[in-house]
A and B are shown apart, each in its own frame.
Chain A
Amino acid sequence: MRRAIIVLLAVLWVAGCTTRPPIKLPGTLSPLIPSDIRVALTTTPGTYRLMFTTPVALHLEEAVYILDASIGELELQLTRYGITIKNERRYLRLPFPITLVFESLDPQPMIRWQGKPYQGTLTLHADDGEVAAVLTVPMDIYVQSVLPAEMPSGKKQYLEALKAQAVAIRTYALWHVHHPRHRWFDVYGDVRDQVLGPYGDDWQNPLIHEAVTATRGMMLTTPQMPRQPVRIQYHSTCGGAFELVGDSLLASRVKKDERLGEENCVISPLHRWVRELSVEQLVNNLMAEKILPRQHGTHLLEKGAQITLSIADRTVSGRSKILTISLPDTVVQVEGFAIRRILQSPNGGALPSNYFFLFPNPQNPRKFYIFGAGYGHGRGLCQWGALGQALEGVGFREILKFYYPNLQVSGVLP
């Protein structure tokens, strides 16, 4: 008996000494796909409030600085000539060109930027004429930060739409990791790319968490290249028709956003909208956008004029491409997003979309109406349409197939 116990212990000891393959952490991304993304918090020179909630080390020539919550909020000045970090007790001034890497001493680094909490590692850059504050964020944290800022998550029935959106966010981000916006960062953290929401209550939302974890490692690819993310687009509300995008952004086909005869995005608050604009406001907008010289515009406002408006060209889905404005002695053509700014009302901001038609006000030739549909550029996934489909019980794979029929959902986890 004693001999048997000794043999058993010996076997266990030998077995314990044998080499084992390393344990793969769940969610480790393929070497082809970087696991982090660099997000620009700002690229504008200015003064910002910064606080390190978890400890970081800043290695400089003269010393290593440990910064944490105990030193409180810092004032960060990003200028074209360098970076200044200061509070009542500390003052660091570093001339350009400079890159400051705040090495995290915590596995879950947290900062407060302009009073809002973010998870990630901060890097500051200043070069001749350029500045940037860049947050390096693990991809899943990035998706989890963007998702609540991009889509409503108040209803349990929205889950499938949230999953579809999570895949879209990840695909967009991964493509930009391979095609960075700038040598310092991959994407902007605002509407120029995807809005990076702060770490907050939304993170506690189980729907967001489930949508991110259930689609972990999934992205949209072409069937021909299943390991390469494609450049996709998505938008808030299509208003009834959207343009298909895939590996090329040339929208060549248009698709109705309908299911069983009902438009999917009808639940959007901007499914249909109406604006009214006066001709004086139009002239003021043209001057503000520097499309019309101020001298010319002022002359028109002083003397009066007959002005005609027409949409000279539309995209395949019917969105306004070129707006022609005929003024005395000149014809102005406005294209793309500028159309939305030219037709903005004094209090309403730019038009929600280019999907509109103009209508005269027969009671008042100084005013006209803009009847529109949707919000955004109208290419790729319609977020409110996806929500509408989710409410009808459609799964996220079907939703993605509907909006990106030429793409497939691929996994990037090994």
Chain B
Amino acid sequence: MIFPRYQYGWMFLILSFWLPGYGQNPVPDPVMQYLKNRSFPQLIEQYGSQTIHLTLPSRRTRQLDSLPYQLQQGFRVQVIATKFAKVARRVFQQVQQLGVDSVYLVEETGLYKVQVGNFTQRDSARKMLDRLYYAGFKDAWIAPATIHLPKLVSSSATPLMYYAIQIFASRHEKEARKIQQQYAHQLNWPVWIERMDHLWKVLVGKFTEEATARQVLEKLRLQGWNEAWLTQVWLD
């Protein structure tokens, strides 16, 4: 067994990879190793009967999701609103030549509008209004508009698994809960229980870094938890 602790873990796999088709992207080693090291009939017995709930979004939602930005109500500086497309296009090019970001030529309710910027607050738009005013666009004004904001990207992918310190294990849930409640207020880290292969385990902390987990393990041992050990737990 390469990962002996896996056999005790929930296999709630959150995979931070994209696998568009077989053989194109290698499956991360830990996942494949996990699958290889487990008896597949056992996995089928454990997970084979679960129901998967899926959400099929509407076409509109999918379209919005595929945009590189999100839509939100905010403010833009509107330079011109005219019925004549040619005029609007000329003004659009003039504003572009100023070197400002986010210049838009939009058509709404039969009017061609040249708008600048994406501002969540009116005050932020005012600076752009001043700049355009001094550049010669004296009729520009601040208008409420649907603005484009960059999508927030999570800074770190959710890990596949955590490190935790196992301090106790029992076949009986009651015993495990009692230990959990007993030490939940005494330790500096969250104490939680997890059922793994017919055993109820009391675990301390959820650490993404092994080194951090080892430091905590050392501290626990100094506190008298000589039997505690480091384990890996699939995210649940």
Whether B56 pairs with A314 at a CB distance below 8 angstroms is no
Q: Which of A280-318 contact B (CB under 8 A)?
A: 280, 282-283, 300-311, 314, 317-318
Is A347 among interface residues, defined by CB-CB distance under 8 A? yes
Indicate which residue in B36, B56, B158 contacts A304 across the interface (CB closer than 8 Å): B56
Is B100 among interface residues, defined by CB-CB distance under 8 A? no
Whether A357 pairs with B44 at a CB distance below 8 angstroms is yes
B34 to chain A, nearest CB (A): 9
Q: How many angstroms from the CA of A301 to the CA of B62 in the assembled complex? A: 10
Q: Which residues of B contact A274 (CB under 8 A)?
A: 15, 19, 27, 31-32, 35
Whether A307 pairs with B44 at a CB distance below 8 angstroms is no
Indicate which residue in B32, B44, B54, B59 contacts A308 across the interface (CB closer than 8 Å): B54
B161 to chain A, nearest CB (A): 13
Can you name the residue of chain B whose Cβ is closest to the Cβ of A283? B56
The interface size of chain B toward A, counting residues with CB under 8 Å, comes to 40
Given A301-B56, A304-B58, A310-B49, the answer on whether A361 and B21 have CB atoms closer than 8 Å is: no
Can you name the residue of chain A whose Cβ is closest to the Cβ of B44? A318
Q: Which residues of B contact A282 (CB under 8 A)?
A: 54
Q: How many angstroms from the CA of A241 to the CA of B41 in the assembled complex? A: 7
Q: Which residues of B contact A347 (CB under 8 A)?
A: 20-22, 24
Of the four ranges (under 10, 10 to 19, 20 to 34, 35 or more), the interface on chain A belongs to 35 or more
B17 to chain A, nearest CB (A): 9
Can you name the residue of chain A whose Cβ is closest to the Cβ of B12? A362
Is B134 among interface residues, defined by CB-CB distance under 8 A? no
B173 to chain A, nearest CB (A): 24
Is A48 among interface residues, defined by CB-CB distance under 8 A? no
Q: Which residues of B contact A367 (CB under 8 A)?
A: 54
Is B108 among interface residues, defined by CB-CB distance under 8 A? no
Is A189 among interface residues, defined by CB-CB distance under 8 A? no
Is B13 among interface residues, defined by CB-CB distance under 8 A? yes
Given A300-B56, A365-B53, A366-B55, the answer on whether A240 and B36 have CB atoms closer than 8 Å is: no
Q: How many angstroms from the CA of A275 to the CA of B53 in the assembled complex? A: 17
Whether A357 pairs with B56 at a CB distance below 8 angstroms is no
Q: How many angstroms from the CA of A366 to the CA of B13 in the assembled complex? A: 16
- Please choose the segment from A18-26, A225-233, A368-376 that sits at the chain B interface, where 4 or more of its residues have CB less than 8 A away: A368-376
Given A272-B35, A274-B19, A276-B18, the answer on whether A363 and B158 have CB atoms closer than 8 Å is: yes
Q: Which of B39-55 contact A (CB under 8 A)?
A: 39-41, 43-45, 47-55
Is A16 among interface residues, defined by CB-CB distance under 8 A? no
Whether B49 pairs with A311 at a CB distance below 8 angstroms is yes
Whether A310 pairs with B52 at a CB distance below 8 angstroms is yes
Whether A309 pairs with B22 at a CB distance below 8 angstroms is no
Given A275-B19, A276-B18, A369-B13, the answer on whether A314 and B44 have CB atoms closer than 8 Å is: yes
Q: Which residues of B contact A219 (CB under 8 A)?
A: none
Interface centre among A239, A271, A366 (most CB of B within 10 A): A366
Is A107 among interface residues, defined by CB-CB distance under 8 A? no
Whether B21 pairs with A348 at a CB distance below 8 angstroms is yes
Is B150 among interface residues, defined by CB-CB distance under 8 A? no
B196 to chain A, nearest CB (A): 17
Given A274-B19, A310-B50, A346-B20, the answer on whether A240 and B57 have CB atoms closer than 8 Å is: no
Is A359 among interface residues, defined by CB-CB distance under 8 A? yes
Q: Which residues of A contact B18 (CB under 8 A)?
A: 276
B72 to chain A, nearest CB (A): 22
Given A273-B22, A318-B45, A346-B20, the answer on whether A241 and B12 have CB atoms closer than 8 Å is: no
Whether B20 pairs with A308 at a CB distance below 8 angstroms is no
Is A349 among interface residues, defined by CB-CB distance under 8 A? yes
Whether B54 pairs with A365 at a CB distance below 8 angstroms is yes
Is B155 among interface residues, defined by CB-CB distance under 8 A? no
A101 to chain B, nearest CB (A): 44
Given A272-B36, A347-B24, A357-B44, the answer on whether A368 and B52 have CB atoms closer than 8 Å is: yes
Indicate which residue in B14, B32, B52 contacts A272 across the interface (CB closer than 8 Å): B32
Indicate which residue in B16, B40, B56 contacts A366 across the interface (CB closer than 8 Å): B56
Q: Which residues of A contact B52 (CB under 8 A)?
A: 308-310, 358-360, 368
Is A345 among interface residues, defined by CB-CB distance under 8 A? yes
B63 to chain A, nearest CB (A): 11
A145 to chain B, nearest CB (A): 27
A301 to chain B, nearest CB (A): 6
Whether A240 pairs with B39 at a CB distance below 8 angstroms is yes
Whether B36 pairs with A366 at a CB distance below 8 angstroms is no
Whether B51 pairs with A346 at a CB distance below 8 angstroms is no
Is A279 among interface residues, defined by CB-CB distance under 8 A? yes
Whether A304 pairs with B14 at a CB distance below 8 angstroms is no
Can you name the residue of chain A whose Cβ is closest to the Cβ of B24? A347
Q: How many angstroms from the CA of A309 to the CA of B12 in the assembled complex? A: 17
Q: How many angstroms from the CA of A302 to the CA of B58 in the assembled complex? A: 5
Indicate which residue in A307, A348, A359 contacts B47 across the interface (CB closer than 8 Å): A359
Q: Which residues of B contact A359 (CB under 8 A)?
A: 11, 13, 47, 50, 52
Q: How many angstroms from the CA of A310 to the CA of B23 in the assembled complex? A: 26
Q: How many angstroms from the CA of A275 to the CA of B13 in the assembled complex? A: 13
Annotate B2-13 by CB proximity to A: 1 below 8 A, 0 otherwise: 000000000111
Whether B53 pairs with A240 at a CB distance below 8 angstroms is no
Whether A307 pairs with B40 at a CB distance below 8 angstroms is no
Given A239-B40, A310-B51, the answer on whether A280 and B14 have CB atoms closer than 8 Å is: no
Is A118 among interface residues, defined by CB-CB distance under 8 A? no
Whether A301 pairs with B59 at a CB distance below 8 angstroms is yes
Can you name the residue of chain B whose Cβ is closest to the Cβ of A319? B44
Could you list 16 A-B pairs, sorted by A, with CB under 8 Å? A266-B36, A276-B15, A276-B18, A279-B55, A302-B58, A304-B58, A304-B61, A314-B44, A318-B48, A348-B21, A348-B22, A355-B44, A359-B50, A366-B57, A368-B54, A373-B35
**9 closest Cβ pairs, A-B complex:** A347-B21, A304-B58, A348-B21, A348-B22, A318-B44, A272-B35, A310-B51, A309-B52, A373-B40
Show the binding face of A for B, using Cβ within 8 Å: 239-241, 256, 266, 271-276, 279-280, 282-283, 300-311, 314, 317-318, 345-349, 352, 355, 357-363, 365-369, 371, 373
